[in-house]
Chains A and B, each alone.
Chain A
Amino acid sequence: MVTINNAHSDLIHDAVLDYYGKRLATCSSDKTIKIFEVSQDSQTLVDTLIAHEGPVWQVDWAHPKFGIILASCSYDGKIIIWKEDPNTSKWTQIDTYNVHSASVNSIQWAPHEYGPLLLAASSDGNVSVIEFKDNGTTEPIIINAHAIGVNTASWAPVAASFDNVRRFVSGGADNLVKIWKYDQDAHTYVLEETLEGHSDWVRDVSWSPSVLTRSYLASVSQDRTCIIWTQENGKKWNKTLLKNEKFPDVLWRASWSLSGNILAVSGGDNKITLWKENLEGKWEPAGEVEQ
């Protein structure tokens, strides 16, 4: 167990370990991003990244094959790409994208097999996919995804693709979850499925990395429910409530373990509950994280 006390001077919104679990990136309402070197029982602050003009909502590490690269997004509407110089361990800002006209609420790198592709969701109602090309240029694809605003977007794992087409899922202020797939000819993403089930803002949607024949999606909402959506071989999506009663507070985050079978749900009541599916296909509690 590692604890980093007083990492920031204001609310922390995201904390992500890199691929090897050696570096931790955190971001906050204090407008900064911090990089920590973590080991078994100690941690050192490597650098503080300052450039955003508003609260920083999320950070995400690129796959190490692309270098030591971090993306961040903020209420200031900007997406910033940061890079560490391996010799000096110093971080620099290598690019800024202002493709959104409002807060960028979530950011995620695509599975590395797809190349350096960055997915972002914004309150301006759009989702953007930025493709970093070999010649150093970028090409953003902008998709109008949810009226009134997009809160979250996340990629489908390569293993979940039954037809070798890349997909992502988005959740918005219109209470909907939408699935998008890449249309190679039009070079854009088209709406494949609209999943209705929530009665308030969808705050997070997460696609399980499980390699089973079935795809699992978890969506959490302001309506205090978590829905598990499942699909087999591209057929109709089925909907199951994680638990029938409402959670005590608004749900903000859903995360699948890397093996795909444990779901961690965190809410406004400061609780993290863990869930797994039993042999009958029902979801049951697998513990609570003691804080």
Chain B
Amino acid sequence: MVKIAEYQRTATFTWSHDKIPILATGTASGTVDANFSSDSVLEFWSLLSIEKDKPINKIKASAKFNDLDWGFDPNKQLVAGALDNGTVEFYDPSNDNIISSNSTAHSTPVRTLTFNSKQNNILLSGGSKGEIFIWDVNKINDASYTPSGPGTAMTPLEEINSLAWNQNLAHVFSCAGTSSTYASIWDLKAKKEVIHLSYTSPATGVKAQLSVVEWHPTSSTKIATATGSDIDPAILIWDLRNSNTPLTVLKNNNGHSKGILSLDWCKQDSHLFLSSGRDNTCILWDPESNNGELLTKYPTRGNWCFKTKFAYETPDIFASASFDNKVQVLTLQDLTTKFDIENTNAEKDKTEADFWNTVSSSDANFTSGHEKPTVVNLYAPAWYGNKSPAAQWAFGGKLVYIKNDGDEHSVEITKPDIPGIFSKNTMLDN
């Protein structure tokens, strides 16, 4: 299964927090479809649906989307949209009308927004002119409600491009802009911007433009930033205890060749990290390995990959949106099988006439388009593998089980004494 699904949309997206996730897509701003339509629609897709190309719900939005995020509260399903007309809009995934729409807070297009995973009712939004707002979604239905600002900026960013909440400290967040050479860390308790991170590229000697931020899933002091410029693109992992220099630089000859647009650090396993960018590719890294190893490079898309995210609760799958008019849902692993090899060989064995006869059919396109990711390093995610004594019965009432105790990995074979069922010194016990 190369792709679980592919939706013919130029759209930004977000995942629901379910084990069997729903994908929400919203018409991306700054693009037009073949009909030059200005309609903007939020659509919901089920991965288990029989008619995969039909959304399970559809909501008409007031403008096109720059970003989308799905709230964490399981009892109050809520999707928030960052709209191009300066509006922050809220939707109920099971309904088809807009819950609430606020066009007064931001004076410029809303670029991005993100829910707080610890304080489920708190949302952060960012736009042009350095505008950042903190929303309490419990109050959005109140007509007089206005969101609050984060406090005092050291130097305001021009256009906020990326926002991320610290995964441990609910009052700390980070942001980065489209044209700034630093990323900043804010402390809402102190009501101010507390740290600037900047990086001078050894290759160019100039301060790199930092445009994307993403926190470590468990460590409160680790953060990733990425350079959005096409000159010397790199992903930097920082430990804020020493904010002068990055801890690790994710850079590789096979890495990104152009600016990076999206980062995602897997919440279930900090060894997994996705990036994508203007070189039209998605890359899976292990930022926790010594040199920040590249694990997998996914097939190149037809245009920039502007958003790539793991499904929150099912990180075996991720989605990636590109300006090639497709949102793809892919699996982390997609190894070459014997059937792929047979297909390739069949393709090679075709005579010249056969080739030209089938080249235009969709079937031929499908098989030849079945491109596989390049696995550079194989890493098994934390949610795999048996993590228990894995007890198994064997002949004669014997029980075999595993003992993984720290660095000791042992196996025991025992014969449990079960009154009335197996007792010791029977005929089998020899």
A and B form one complex: yes
Question: What is the 8 Å Cβ interface bit string for chain B, positions 382-405, against chain A (1 contact, 0 not)?
Answer: 001111111111111111111110
Contact A24 B411 (CB under 8 A): yes
Q: How far is the CB of A227 from chain B (nearest CB, A)?
A: 17
* Stretch from A96-104, A111-119, A155-163 forming part of the interface with B: A96-104
Q: Count of A residues near B, CB < 8 Å? A: 77
Bound together, the chains give a CA A201 to CA B400 distance in angstroms of 25
* B-side contacts of A200, CB under 8 Å: 19
* A-side contacts of B340, CB under 8 Å: 101
Bound together, the chains give a CA A288 to CA B8 distance in angstroms of 55
Contact A276 B421 (CB under 8 A): yes
Partner among A75, A256, A286 whose Cβ is within 8 Å of the Cβ of B393? A256
Output the nearest chain B residue to A125 by Cβ-Cβ distance: B1
* A-side contacts of B417, CB under 8 Å: 287
* Stretch from A5-13, A83-91, A182-190, A232-240 forming part of the interface with B: A5-13
* B-side contacts of A199, CB under 8 Å: 19
Q: Is the interface of A mostly helix, strand, loop or mixed?
A: loop
* B-side contacts of A15, CB under 8 Å: 390, 392, 400-402, 411
Contact A268 B399 (CB under 8 A): no
Is A94 positioned at the interface, with any CB of B under 8 Å from its CB?
A: no
Bound together, the chains give a CA A9 to CA B333 distance in angstroms of 25
Bound together, the chains give a CA A264 to CA B333 distance in angstroms of 32
Bound together, the chains give a CA A147 to CA B338 distance in angstroms of 21
Is A167 positioned at the interface, with any CB of B under 8 Å from its CB?
A: no
Q: How far is the CB of A47 from chain B (nearest CB, A)?
A: 16
* A-side contacts of B412, CB under 8 Å: 1-4, 291
Q: How far is the CB of A173 from chain B (nearest CB, A)?
A: 7
Contact B333 A174 (CB under 8 A): no
Is A272 positioned at the interface, with any CB of B under 8 Å from its CB?
A: yes
* A-side contacts of B334, CB under 8 Å: 101-102, 124
Is B410 positioned at the interface, with any CB of A under 8 Å from its CB?
A: yes
Contact A287 B1 (CB under 8 A): no
Q: How far is the CB of A9 from chain B (nearest CB, A)?
A: 7
Output the nearest chain B residue to A4 by Cβ-Cβ distance: B411
Contact A97 B338 (CB under 8 A): yes
Bound together, the chains give a CA A100 to CA B339 distance in angstroms of 9
Contact A11 B339 (CB under 8 A): no
Q: How far is the CB of A75 from chain B (nearest CB, A)?
A: 4
Contact B411 A251 (CB under 8 A): no
Partner among A103, A149, A252, A289 whose Cβ is within 8 Å of the Cβ of B416? A289
Contact A262 B385 (CB under 8 A): no
* A-side contacts of B422, CB under 8 Å: 262
* B-side contacts of A271, CB under 8 Å: 389
* B-side contacts of A289, CB under 8 Å: 389, 391, 399, 401, 414, 416
* B-side contacts of A21, CB under 8 Å: 394-396, 398
Is A267 positioned at the interface, with any CB of B under 8 Å from its CB?
A: yes
Please judge, given known A-B contacts A57-B386, A148-B316, whether A272 and B401 are in contact too, CB under 8 Å. yes
Contact A101 B337 (CB under 8 A): yes
Contact B389 A3 (CB under 8 A): no
Is A16 positioned at the interface, with any CB of B under 8 Å from its CB?
A: yes
Question: What is the 8 Å Cβ interface bit string for chain B, positions 337-359, against chain A (1 contact, 0 not)?
Answer: 11110000000000000000000
* B-side contacts of A197, CB under 8 Å: none
* B-side contacts of A1, CB under 8 Å: 412-415
Bound together, the chains give a CA A99 to CA B1 distance in angstroms of 11
Bound together, the chains give a CA A227 to CA B396 distance in angstroms of 26
Output the nearest chain A residue to B430 by Cβ-Cβ distance: A40
* B-side contacts of A7, CB under 8 Å: 409-411
Partner among A17, A57, A76, A100 whose Cβ is within 8 Å of the Cβ of B398? A17
Interface residues of A in 65-79 (CB under 8 A from B): 75-77
Output the nearest chain B residue to A140 by Cβ-Cβ distance: B338
Question: What is the 8 Å Cβ interface bit string for chain A, positions 222-238, against chain B (1 contact, 0 not)?
Answer: 00000000000000000
Contact B331 A12 (CB under 8 A): no
Residues of B within 8 A of A (CB): 1-2, 4, 19-20, 47-48, 314, 316-317, 331-340, 378, 380, 384-404, 408-418, 421-422
**17 other contacts beyond A252-B388, A266-B390, A270-B389, with CB at 8 A cut-off?**
A14-B402, A75-B385, A97-B338, A101-B334, A101-B335, A123-B333, A124-B331, A124-B333, A148-B4, A173-B19, A174-B48, A175-B19, A250-B388, A252-B386, A258-B394, A264-B399, A270-B388
Closest 6 CB pairs of A and B: A252-B388, A102-B333, A17-B394, A77-B335, A75-B380, A2-B413
